[in-house]
Structure 1
């Protein structure tokens, strides 16, 4: 009888054991669905926290960095610290004066899958709530400056909600609340810091993204007179999902059609036609990194083997501009400065076009440098940020082509993702546009 009871107890415990060992739903925050990808992201985050964060906290004069996060309303920096779910959690980095910061999580769930040993300490609270633990933790360390994620113009550094700020102030008391400061500059520096493994992951991301778009234009799916822009839109998404990937933003399908002004929109459900120029703006997510790329294709008319020479000339000018712009993108240059230098170059070379590039990384429009004029409600302070070596960056611009049959100059947008080096922007050979793609009039 007792032996039978023991067996029943074991059977009852099996679901509990499985529950505690099962991996978290990484896809909810990270768009990750396999262990290999998760291990890569965890290694990267651990290297940054172990090796670089203490230096950055000192450079930005912050003793303690508190990141508050809640389920379904996670702080944008969760992907950079391997943060996970929890109903109300505090992720706390404290500079002890050593090489590595103290990293503590106070939350509602235990990290059963903390493979890399990211945490120094883990505190799980119950009905008493987060407040007493948070108060005790701060009082014991007595920090002079406590950084929190608030920013007027940089959304990735603005993860602390009004309600959670009030909660934090109430928890730590007036004495320590008076020491709260914006961690904006620290958040920017930490998030756009990149290590070698991330460059390799970005290389794979650009190659995977380029291959998806190449396949969409070369697998026979496009049939002029039948296939619509909407069909192509969904085809690209389906190809992305078949690769086990998510998109960083949905494909923007832009049709340039003879006889129509560039500003005219071809209806999404109107069939593609011979002579159409198709421009795609799209990006994927791979190991939390995003790509942002544009590709251009031309649907050959009957009897054509190549696009009109004006189109080819515009593409050649675009590649010349890309090489020149890439050399300009060096550490230390601000977005405002780059905007001025790039447009001066276009004018000197008598090329009609425009230049508007930006940081990428863990979001398609990244936390770092943006090129452009001061446009506060759009770019915020990012146009004043200098480029840093290793920063992930998207070179985005367009050239105008005067093509017979079009009533006005046609905009041909270009974009590729890479990272900043001392010599300029490094683009990956297999992950950048090298030619205009041709779609045959008949399969």
Structure 2
């Protein structure tokens, strides 16, 4: 439907008034929602195939790798274990009263049995066990859901039936992703199981971490599409479609990015951030919400959440001065240094190494090449700051005890996050921070590739 001419005229007059008075520009035009990833039903069907592959392929491999015979994962509604979303279908949003997932590895020939005490079969992926039939007040037999102590007794009966030598549970002082068993659930479980079975409980270690980190090939194909969408939104945000130099504030750009996701029926796992570096101005002088001016260097941090998977991207932009057609050479060299630092991370990020080993090697090579930078890369996937080996923190360049000692595995994703600081001759030697973040995929063969592509030139606002 065409917009009436009087509405267009009013919009034009309002934009002109804002430009002359320096007031906040109007909200960007609402975009008709699109379906970049298809209908919700189609998305759920794709997610179900991912779940089946994760449980059929990854779970047995990882249970044997971590020497877990039986894994018990209890959780209650609204207090779900972090590993919950790696275990359930797209149509399952909560644990329903209580669900106890039990995984029993009977060896390579018989495979892993998947049992749910409570909850649903998740599209036929779990054997669901219910309590015995009960007769209600009207004399009708009904199968209820497990409830309270009765559910723990069902778990005890299952253990007695299968006689596992050890039982892994999610308790950890190192990984939040492996520490999902709440204190109340632990008390209820051990009280019901008694000392004999309680003595066989042990921490699940890295099993839930690596199951959350593991990604299939079709997930990688989707991740490329998701990263392309993130790129498209950033490219538009850092253009004259959104930014009018001398008028637009950084918060305007942040909210445009957030709104664009909402218009597409998507969301994010953090509020977008946009910042400015300016010749002759300090961060304190610029303040929290500066008006974007010509000659400014722009930076954004932006993530997309879709089909439970998350992206994480940081890009650089430049607002051309009058008469310029490109960013100054010194700024382009600053971006090239952060690109080179990306190269070093990709060359050293490989399965079998710990995150701290990758960090030490990259920082050593970085110093040999004379780059002034920091590396703080992290896994990404079902969580934005995802499960897996951490490669530094911005304020922990000596390594990250515990999280950084975990091992990189094949079939996982990383956000290669880092920054290089460089003096810019055109700015009188003032240092500029080129902070970049781009997602990569470690394939089943351990080779690293960009999920979509990486930024090698500034986004330009004319």
- SS of the residue 2:455 aligns to: coil
- SS of the residue 2:438 aligns to: strand
State how 1:111-122 maps to structure 2 within 5 Å.
114-115=122-123, 117-122=124-129
**Structure 1 residue 391 displacement after superposition:** 1.7
Q: Which runs of 5+ in 2 are unaligned?
A: 1-37, 131-144
**Counterpart pick for 2:84 among 60, 78, 85:** 78
Give deviations 1:329-384, integer Å, cap 9, x for gaps: 122222222222212222222222222212212111221111238969x9451211
**Structure 1 residue 56 displacement after superposition:** 2.4
> Which residue of the partner structure matches residue 427 of structure 1?
450
- SS of the residue 1:413 aligns to: strand
State how 1:96-115 maps to structure 2 within 5 Å.
96-97=106-107, 98-107=109-118, 109-110=119-120, 114-115=122-123
- Cα 1:214–1:202 change in 2 (3 A) is same
Q: Please, which moves more after superposition, 93-102 or 400-409?
A: 400-409
**Structure 1 residue 128 displacement after superposition:** 6.7
- Return the TM-score normalized by structure 2: 0.81
**Structure 1 residue 36 displacement after superposition:** 1.7
**Structure 1 residue 196 displacement after superposition:** 1.0
CA distance in 1, matches of 2:273, 2:74: 35
Q: Please, which moves more after superposition, 160-169 or 326-335?
A: 326-335
Q: Please, which moves more after superposition, 407-416 or 163-172?
A: 407-416
Residue 158 (structure 1) aligned with residue 179 (structure 2): yes
Residue 130 (structure 1) aligned with residue 151 (structure 2): yes
CA distance in 2, matches of 1:343, 1:382: 18
- SS of the residue 1:250 aligns to: coil
The 8 Å contact of residues 279 and 413 in structure 1, kept in 2 or not, is answered as yes
- SS of the residue 1:249 aligns to: coil
**Structure 1 residue 80 displacement after superposition:** 0.7
> Which residue of the partner structure matches residue 27 of structure 1?
none
Give deviations 1:239-296, integer Å, cap 9, x for gaps: 11222221122212221122223x5373344321222111111211222221111011
**Counterpart pick for 1:284 among 304, 312, 318:** 304
State how 1:177-216 maps to structure 2 within 5 Å.
177-216=198-237
The 8 Å contact of residues 396 and 415 in structure 1, kept in 2 or not, is answered as yes
**Structure 1 residue 33 displacement after superposition:** 7.7
- Cα 1:420–1:72 change in 2 (3 A) is same
> Which residue of the partner structure matches residue 330 of structure 2?
310
CA distance in 1, matches of 2:225, 2:446: 22
**Counterpart pick for 2:52 among 26, 46, 54:** 46
- SS of the residue 2:411 aligns to: coil
- SS of the residue 1:307 aligns to: coil
> Which residue of the partner structure matches residue 93 of structure 1?
103
- Cα 1:359–1:99 change in 2 (3 A) is farther
- Cα 1:141–1:272 change in 2 (3 A) is same
Q: Which runs of 5+ in 1 are unaligned?
A: 1-31
The 8 Å contact of residues 41 and 287 in structure 1, kept in 2 or not, is answered as yes
The 8 Å contact of residues 110 and 122 in structure 1, kept in 2 or not, is answered as no
**Structure 1 residue 402 displacement after superposition:** 1.6
Taking only aligned residues, the RMSD between alpha carbons, in angstroms, comes to 2.5
